[in-house]
Amino acid sequence: MIYQVIVDISNSSVDRVFDYSCPFAIEEGSRVKVPFGNRTLEGIVIGTKQSTDIKTKDIIAKLDDFTPVIPEMIELSRYLKANCNIRYADSLRLCMPAKLRGGRVRELSRGFLKLDVDKEIARGLIGKNAPKQLALLEEIQPEGEFESVLVGRFGQSAVKGLVAKGILNKTQMQVKRKPLKNLEGQSKKVQLSDLQISAVNEIYDNIGTTVLHGVTGSGKTEVYMAVIERVLSEGKSAIMLVPEISLTPQMLNVFRGRFGDNVGLLHSGMSDGERYDEWMKILTKEAKVVLGARSAIFAPVENVGVIIIDEEHDGSYVSDSNPRYHTHEIAEFRRKYNNCRLVLGSATPSLDTYYKAMNGEYKLVKMMTRANKRAMPQMEIIDMRKEIRAGNINMFSRRLLAELDKTIKAGNQAMIYINRRGFASFLRCKACGYVPHCTDCEVSLTYHKEDNRLKCHYCGKEFYNLDVCPQCGNEKLSYGRIGTETVMEELNKIFPDVKVLRLDNDTTSSKDSTAQILSAFSAGEAQILVGTQMIVKGHDFSNVTLVGVLDADLSLYYSDYRSNELTFQQITQVAGRAGRDDKEGSVIIQTYNPAHYVFRFARQYDYEGFYDKESNMRETTSFPPYSKIIRILLKSENEEKALISARKCYSRMREIKEENTGLFRVQAMRAPVKRISNEYRFQVVIWLRIQSEKELVPRIYAEADKLNDKSVVTFVEVNPVNMR
């Protein structure tokens, strides 16, 4: 038997199958040690065959007493190699916890203490002048406790003393790390509404992909759990994905409440050890419900009955570092492989997803009312230009301040949201709200300080900077933006007695701080929570009745063709945090551009209206979902070489365009950020017609590979998000 092995080196030149022989039998999916050149390397057996033409070497050893890569993941790595230009070694790495590789696994064991002597006798042995030891003796659990717990309560010397006297017996106990173990799970079993029941049935009956379009607070989580329960009762397993770590504690809580230890948690915020333990629990089928962020789509579960992507519109489902993958695409692969259900749930489905639902490719299920039977919170749009004209130059409108005051006095809570994503600045007229757009692409232009120009990040067109607003003649054009810190300072000035918490990337650098801030707010320790994107997602605070959005336009001016869509999503999602329990909620949106259709539709919670308008626009400008955009990024420390590669790439793409109408637009330019960590960056952007995608995407990958000048790195991204 010949074994086909992928060696664990991420390098295109060796990213292929190598043949080995072996004196003993090995299963596919095993990790092995193999001789490679003059080294020994780890590798994965991905197949076998009867014979080979080459002279083979023997596999040295099998590394584990289990099979870490399930057959489905081997198939997946073949698929990713063929369709997404992802190396075997890279996708196999995604399927395994980092700890497994390089033999770094360490089972955790902890000291465990138990009374070894009768209490009566022990008291005599201790004597009166050791109160801590006596207290420990009285309070230790009859079945024993972990040493670290007892040390925490009674101190090191009390514990040591009792062990020395032979009163406590110490053993080592194997423990599994349980991430976030203080979240034991909260089980509030509710009676499903008719709407929820029919959603569950519709999803369950569709062996295929279902879009669950449910307004914020419609009770999608209960629907997901009911579907999972059914799937489990058939003996199958489930994968549930949520966007971000900050959201996971809450979801984990309800999932543990419902499914107990049957839940395996996987996300990147866990320690390597925790990740390994949870992954093992899933591989050994001890846990049949996988809950996690993006990377959990690679969980080693077999016999999957349903895959759920919650908040499917969220940007975190597209990986932003290598290897670049779209979670939806992998979920779709796994759905087909398992012949099961895929659920894409959101209050604001991505345009791409909804487009497929409209075309009949996906089934659409709607839940348009809230589970608490309340109306959606009232949304009010405040025109900040009027505020300026009325002499209010504060970042808060008079209306928002009045509402904040009212909310605090009533003993309720408020959330203030400001958008701060994006790296580049745009130009805006403070008086009329005018923002310059690209004449060809309809996306807003980005201001580049170094050459004082306005540039389009898609086609590269450049424009002179403006001194005067072409719309109203005003000379006050601004580049500035406000941050969470300034907002917090301002609130402290206006409401000196009110406690304000802040949540953004700066406050959440440590592993648990997001959860801490959120739980402090949830416990009512502050009346106002100020934050960025992180407060938008899925949180369920029952006491929040007011949501304020400052400078809601900011996201309209990302240099991204999806900026309208992103703004609509953010406003709808953040508004959805208000009035989720018994109390009515209200939302105040501050903008310099109140007439924009995004606000008009968002205010009415009119997703369909927005979809029609926006998809019309995309069709007119030939942006996705009506096309596919591919960006080829070329980076090098040598500017000249990067430029030469970019030119070569550009002319090659022009040739393809000449012979194949499926490729209908090519642009080459410097990347939006022209230099990052000493590398010069150029990009070639290509527009493809959807029908030609299957044929042209692999071809473009191949062309990009051919460019490979050793000193130039090439990245290919399909429908790039957040271009820089």
| E runs forming strands in 377-426 | 378-383, 413-418
- Token readout for 12 is 């295109």
Footprint on residues 522-541 left by ligand ADP (CB under 6 A): 540
- Contact partner, 456, from Zn ion, ligand ADP, none, Cβ < 5-8 Å per class: Zn ion
For residue 213, which amino acid is it? H
Nearer to Zn ion by Cβ, of 210 and 627: the residue is 627
Q: Which of residues 143-202 bind ligand ADP (CB under 6 A)?
A: 190-193, 196
- Residue closer to ligand ADP by CB (options 221, 627) is 221
Burial class (CB in 10 A: 0-12, 13-18, 19+), 176: middle
Site for ligand ADP in 359-398 (CB under 6 A): 371-372
Per partner kind, with CB cut-offs from 5 to 8 A, the member of ligand ADP, Zn ion, none near residue 192 is ligand ADP
Rule CB under 6 A: is residue 413 a binding residue for ligand ADP?
no
Cβ closest to Zn ion, residue 363 vs residue 461? 461
Task: Report H helices in 622-692.
Answer: 639-659
**SS3 letters across 420-463:** CCCCCECCEECCCCCCCECCCCCCECEEECCCCEEECCCCCCEE
Of 543, 511, 510, 546, the closest CA to residue 530 belongs to 546
Shortest spacing between CB 576 and ligand ADP, in angstroms: 6
**Closest CB 239 distance from ligand ADP, rounded Å:** 17
Question: Given the rule CB under 5 A, which of 119-127, 411-419, 459-467, 606-614 is the region that contacts Zn ion?
Answer: 459-467
Cβ proximity to Zn ion: between 436 and 579 the closer is 436
By CB under 6 A, the count of residues binding ligand ADP is 17
**Burial (CB count <10 Å: 0-12, 13-18, 19+), residue 548:** buried
Q: Closest CB to ligand ADP among 273 and 345?
A: 345
- Amino acid in the structure at residue 479: Y
- Give the nearest distance from C-beta 221 to ligand ADP in angstroms: 3
Q: How far is the CB of 721 from Zn ion (least distance, A)?
A: 17
Q: What does each C-alpha distance from 262 to 237, 245, 255, 284, 668 come to in angstroms?
A: 10, 20, 9, 12, 51
Q: What mask, x for binding ligand ADP by CB under 6 A, covers residues 207 to 226? A: -------x-xxxxxxx----
Q: How many residues of this chain interact with Zn ion, rule: CB under 5 A?
A: 7
Residue in the shown chain whose Cβ atom is closest to ligand ADP: 219
Nearer to ligand ADP, 367 or 445 (CB): 367
Q: CB of 254: closest distance to Zn ion in angstroms?
A: 45
617 lines the binding site for ligand ADP (CB under 6 A): no
- Render 538-565 in DSSP notation, one character per residue: S---TTEEEEEEESGGGGGGSSSTTHHH
Give the tokens for residue 521.
């707010």
Least CB distance to ligand ADP at residue 527 (A): 21
To 10 degrees, what angle do helices 131-139 and 119-126 make?
A: 170
Structure tokens at 6: 């992928």
| Binds 636: which of ligand ADP, Zn ion, none (CB < 5-8 Å by kind) | none
Q: Does 90 bind Zn ion (CB under 5 A)?
A: no
Sign of CA dihedral 516, 522, 528, 534: positive
Place of tokens 């290598």: 322
Could you give the string, one character per residue 421-440, with x where binding to Zn ion holds by CB under 5 A and - elsewhere?
-----------------x-x
Report the distance separating Cα 192 and Cα 222, nearest Å: 8
Q: Which is nearer to Zn ion, 97 or 422 (CB)?
A: 422
Task: Please state the closest distance from residue 586 (CB atom) to ligand ADP, in A.
Answer: 18
Residue 216 site contact among Zn ion, ligand ADP, none (CB < 5 to 8 Å, cut-off depends on kind): ligand ADP
540 binds, among ligand ADP, Zn ion, none (CB under 5 to 8 A by kind): ligand ADP
Q: How far apart are CA 285 and CA 287, in angstroms?
A: 5
- 456, 477, 500, 552: residue in contact with Zn ion (rule CB under 5 A): 456
What single-letter amino acid sits at 425? S
Q: Judged by CB under 5 A, which of 459, 491, 575, 688 binds Zn ion?
A: 459
* Closest separation in Å from C-beta 445 to Zn ion: 8
Residue 520's Cβ-count burial label (10 Å; 0-12, 13-18, 19+) is: middle
Name the amino acid, one letter, at 321. Answer: S
Q: Chain centroid to CA 12: how far? A: 28
Crossing angle of the two packed helices 156-164 and 131-139, in degrees rounded to 10: 80
Of the two residues 52 and 193, which places its CB atom closer to ligand ADP in the complex? 193
The CB-of-269 to Zn ion minimum distance in angstroms stands at: 38
Which is closer to ligand ADP, CB of 371 or CB of 546? 371
Name the minimum Å distance from CB 341 to ligand ADP: 18
Nearest to 555 by CA among 422, 384, 397: 422
Q: How far is the CB of 578 from ligand ADP (least distance, A)?
A: 12
Stretch that binds Zn ion, among 28-36, 458-466, 509-517, 538-546 (CB under 5 A): 458-466
First to last CA, the chain: 49
Residue 723 interacts with Zn ion (CB under 5 A)? no
* Closest by Cα among 543, 567, 544 to 554: 567
Closer residue to ligand ADP (CB): 200 or 696: 200
121 binds, among Zn ion, ligand ADP, none (CB under 5 to 8 A by kind): none
300-329 b/e with 16+ CB inside 10 Å = b?
bbeebbbbbbbbbbbbbbbeeeebbbbbbb
Which residues would be at the binding site for Zn ion (CB under 5 A)?
Answer: 438, 440-441, 456, 458-459, 461
Task: Give contact residues for ligand ADP (rule: CB under 6 A).
Answer: 190-193, 196, 214, 216-222, 371-372, 540, 580
